[in-house]
Structure 1
């Protein structure tokens, strides 16, 4: 198959699969069937486009093909007449075949419904993330498995169980309303953020980052901002992801080794992503000015904007960042926020102030995470307590499951061990 045709199929599927599956789920009221019909349409495209050429409207071609297969499926059913009546709003037949020359109605609502369905409260966070990537992101099971360092069979089982859970729960495809919609939207944003974080700083494996996963999360955040334009936190989420991702190319050196924030070449930060992030933050701020509440994503985006606006590490407004973390600690309290607040206080005033925040955390607050000892190590190094810092860096290295991160922590432990007490402070992570 010519490369241009293969690219057309891949691009169309990645961009349109959510709309396709969403529309088919609305019509059939059966998620499993909807995805099967969409996959059948994809196979048809792979078979026919190389010889017939890429259609003028590839998305409409896929939708037409999938709906025709839906009609054929129900024709074979003993309940064809009842099904046709129930689905008449979506399947208008003409000479035994549906007419799809007009644009499909409610297409954006269908995508939004699909996003909310993927993040149903009956599902675990891991299942929500996998199902969102499959149904909304259009990723294959193999791609999702690779992204989360799982076997393809394990990921296939997870996705299958998630679909079965939705079927058993008789999950409604309609958009939730009121408090339920607010709660579900929080779940949706949390899943998108989870996907991004796994791409931006992989929890395990050889690679420091998985750019394809971070990029997919940004695409989902942009889509969500278009679908729910009156929610400031959605714009805050998009801003946060765009601004964080702007540093990606500077976070590794030519050999793929991690580069810490203070050591990054800021000329390599992506200016387009920064502009997009600041624009999204501005939209969130405009809602806040009109009295709409903002929360953790807006505040984290505001923190990220302080870094994005600093031409050099020395220009970073750490006092503003520390102040924003104080607000974030009230809006979304938790041990991770406290650890990050410790970092900001350590840079804005005195590393001892940051250590005091860490010391106030209850034992086991972050379980077996490497984050707490790594931040403690950095603050100790800034106080000139390099021997203690080396111990904490080694503790953090033993806890992380990411090989690249382990290497940098061990290097910092070695560097600290070789410094005299009271020497120059080390760089922050």
Structure 2
């Protein structure tokens, strides 16, 4: 047993010191820090932006004053200059970058304001959106006067309707709780998806690397192949938990100070305060079960190849399963109660993502959660028994991999040992 834990420690320590692990962790931490402070970063750049200067050519001779007033009230960083020059002269000033743009106010067929905006390019879409909003407000004011409405009547007309939502199911989540649960599930689905792909592929590559260097022949003389397989699963599992702990720790520290801004920007999606602790516990449970399910599959698939170049080809069916589960889960974010999602949540290779989706967004009976966990545990056990036999013979197979045929060869060789 000491040899087993020595291999676990060796797998863990050798991987945690690699440049790829350190660089990946650093890049991810920096990315999370940047995203969690995105509002501060945007504000820092916005403070340096200078107001753009636009000349206005009012062909109507009556809309400019109202247009300018609405623009000032909107606090948009655009300065207007009413001009008496010709359109061609103003075009020339824009081309020579003396002006940032030209706005030509006109009348449409209903004698209401319309406009043409000229700039050097169409790349700054925000400017066009801001001018369109100001023009729309100007049009509403003149339309109100034309129809003989006062401001209060117009405000009543454009006041959004109120829709009351009532869920009759016992313990049904409120709309705010559902939005927060959807945000949490969305984030954790990505964590499960990328983690399983990354670490399962790492296990397969690790096995293939040892085989390609003939290290496996030395290892199996002192430690059984089955112990080797589970040592790699646990060692890289600990590696994944270490990386997740670092990433989530930095992410929590970064988001904690920005949670109010992020919550406002996402409409309450990232305000996790109303989410029960049990949802986070289930996230950890399904993450670990999903890892061991796919990691066991990746370990014995990796034992079938003797060249690193063949790893991705052989584990591609496993990747397709993970991608399929992720795509179904993305669909389920908006329709978590459909029969398709319910049935898919009991298919072991889909369960870690889809059942967690249902647990996070719905109030499902405890027996369904228990059944899904039991199915996963049974699947992992069966896959581990079968995988151990394939691994035991697969580590001795060299040459070009032929997938299914090599599995049969591995099973035969494991019986002979």
TM-score bracket for the superposition, by shorter chain length: under 0.3
Greater C-alpha radius of gyration: 2
Give the structure with the higher percent strand.
2
Higher relative CO (CA 8 A, sep ≥ 6), structure 1 or 2? 2
